[in-house]
Amino acid sequence: MAKSKAQRMREYRERKKQQIGEEEWLRQERNRRKIYFTPMAQMDEDKQLKVRERNRKCQQRFRK
């Protein structure tokens, strides 16, 4: 039976951990994910309002 995308990615991550070591892999993963995060204090007021509005809508949808 064919593997799903999630199964392939899970196996890929495990192989990657084994190749470069878990500590190094964790460091690389942290650096990769840092790119997507910007603290609210560094955003201007307009951007903060947009982010908060988007978060509010997502939270309301989640609660339903």
Per-residue tens of pLDDT for the chain, all 64 residues: 899 999 999 999 999 999 999 999 999 999 999 999 899 999 999 999 999 999 999 999 999 8
What pLDDT, on the 0 to 100 scale, is given for residue 24? 94
pLDDT at 64: 81
Instruction: Break the chain into its structural domains and give their ranges.
Output: 5-63
What local confidence, expressed as pLDDT, does residue 27 receive? Answer: 95
What per-residue confidence (pLDDT) applies to 46?
98
pTM above 0.75, yes or no: no
Query: Tokens 């603290």 appear where?
Result: 39
Using CA atoms, how far residue 55 sits from 5, 38, 42, 58, 59, in Å, is 28, 14, 17, 5, 6
- Helices then strands, each counted (H, E), the chain: 3, 0
Buried b (16+ CB within 10 A) or exposed e, 39-64: eeeeeeeeeeeeeeeeeeeeeeeeee
